[in-house]
């Protein structure tokens, strides 16, 4: 437990790039005055995602400034608001696109804060941004209707939403390549045909049929799939979990890189809010992984849990003692 006064904030901050366990430190300070047009939010929960850890290593150093507070998504309760947003006082919001969220107090631009529907569970709502929005945008940009779809890292939160929502959007079949065997049953229960990553012939067969691949692994698996996909297919790369990029040996199938940050600038505030109006009912109706709670003071244990292979739940920082 961290000891702080009621006025103080605790923030997991990095002042240099490197391994998150090494460079993150819990810093205590009294928050600065709330900026005009911003909400002040007392945080409840914030998950640990790949997207939170990668920037800490310096992978995007060209567009991050230090010091920085880690964490891109989470949920909290509004404690202070400008007059136009007084109706949000006491309500749960996702305080997105402001400060890092691995801290107890977050200020965010009021027009980007996403009010959370009453009936939405906080542990699920805390994860309504990075993975759901990426899945929704990829499916809009590269529609799966009538197509055979292939997913990699299929046990991940992003892939299970991609798979379920691709089926809802009319995909003919969805195959999910998963690394740990533990994912097979739940993928099947979602209607996703599980394929063990080490079953090379099954991976090759599925790749040869795949008209759209949504890949989060890169490396050798991406190269294998690319070498076998039909030429008219589309290979969408949205992550490099293997830590390795890949080479494309022939011009086709087309390769597209997707990153949510590149899509955000084009969204005005009403289009941004509309994305979540579409996400809430879909997220409520979908299977998603469970969350395992870690008090903020135990953030190292949360990072350790994140790295465990074959995880079925998402580590979630709990900001209150």
Ligand X SMILES: NC(=O)c1ccc[n+]([C@@H]2O[C@H](COP(=O)([O-])OP(=O)(O)OC[C@H]3O[C@@H](n4cnc5c(N)ncnc54)[C@H](OP(=O)(O)O)[C@@H]3O)[C@@H](O)[C@H]2O)c1
Per CB under 6 A, 238 contacts ligand X: yes
| Interface stretch with ligand X, choices 143-151, 256-264, 275-283, 296-304 (CB under 6 A) | 256-264
Q: In whole angstroms, how far apart are CA 65 and each of 6, 264, 292?
A: 29, 19, 30
- β 173-178/193-196 pair status: parallel
CA–CA separation, 131 and 253 (whole Å): 25
Residue 307: C-alpha distances to residues 43, 177, 283 (Å): 24, 19, 25
Is 57 among the residues that bind ligand X (CB under 6 A)? no
- Does 171 sit near ligand X (CB under 6 A)? no
By the rule CB under 6 A, 158 interacts with ligand X: yes
4, 29, 35, 50: residue in contact with ligand X (rule CB under 6 A): 50
One DSSP character per residue, 133-193 reads HHHHHHHHHS--TTSEEEESSTTSHHHHHHHHHHHHTT-SEEEEEESSGGGHHHHHHTT-E
Point out which span in 23-31, 97-105, 255-263, 275-283 binds ligand X (CB under 6 A).
255-263
167 binds ligand X (CB under 6 A): no
Please provide the distance, in angstroms rounded to a whole number, between the alpha carbons at the two ends of the chain. Answer: 7
- Taking the complex as a whole, the smallest distance from the CB of residue 243 to ligand X amounts, in Å, to 7
**Total number of residues binding ligand X (CB under 6 A)?**
26
CB of 185 to ligand X, least distance (A): 13
CB-wise, 131 or 286, nearer to ligand X? 131
Tokens 């997207």, located at residue: 51
Smaller CB separation from ligand X, 113 or 160: 160
For ligand X, what does the binding mask look like between residues 191 and 230, x meaning CB under 6 A? -------------------------xx-------------
């Amino acid at each position: 437990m961290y000891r702080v006064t009621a006025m103080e904030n605790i923030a997991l901050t990095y002042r240099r790039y490197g391994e998150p366990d090494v460079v993150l430190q819990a810093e205590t300070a009294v928050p600065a005055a709330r900026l005009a047009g911003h909400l002040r939010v007392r945080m409840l929960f914030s998950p640990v995602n790949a997207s939170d850890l990668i920037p800490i290593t310096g992978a995007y150093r060209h567009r991050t400034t230090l010091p920085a507070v880690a964490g891109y998504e989470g949920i909290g309760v509004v404690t202070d608001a400008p007059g136009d947003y007084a109706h949000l006082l006491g309500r749960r919001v996702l305080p997105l696109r402001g400060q890092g969220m691995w801290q107890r107090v977050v200020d965010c631009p009021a027009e980007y804060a996403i009010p959370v529907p009453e009936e939405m569970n906080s542990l699920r709502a805390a994860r309504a941004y990075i993975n759901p929005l990426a899945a929704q945008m990829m499916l809009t940009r590269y529609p799966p209707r009538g197509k055979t779809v292939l997913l990699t890292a299929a046990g991940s939160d992003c892939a299970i939403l991609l798979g379920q929502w691709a089926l809802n959007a009319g995909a003919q079949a969805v195959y999910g390549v998963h690394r740990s065997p533990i994912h097979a049953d739940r993928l099947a229960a979602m209607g996703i045909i599980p394929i063990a990553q080490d079953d090379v012939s099954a991976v090759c067969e599925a790749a040869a049929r795949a008209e759209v691949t949504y890949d989060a692994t890169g490396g050798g698996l991406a190269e294998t799939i690319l070498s076998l996909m039909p030429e008219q297919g589309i290979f969408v790369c949205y992550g490099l979990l293997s830590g390795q990029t890949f080479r494309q040996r022939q011009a086709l199938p087309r390769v597209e890189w997707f990153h949510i940050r590149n899509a955000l600038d084009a969204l005005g505030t009403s289009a941004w809010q509309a994305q979540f109006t579409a996400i809430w009912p879909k997220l409520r109706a979908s299977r998603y992984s469970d969350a395992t709670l870690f008090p903020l003071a135990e953030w190292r244990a949360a990072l350790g849990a994140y790295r465990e292979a074959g995880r079925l739940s998402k580590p979630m920082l709990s900001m209150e003692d």
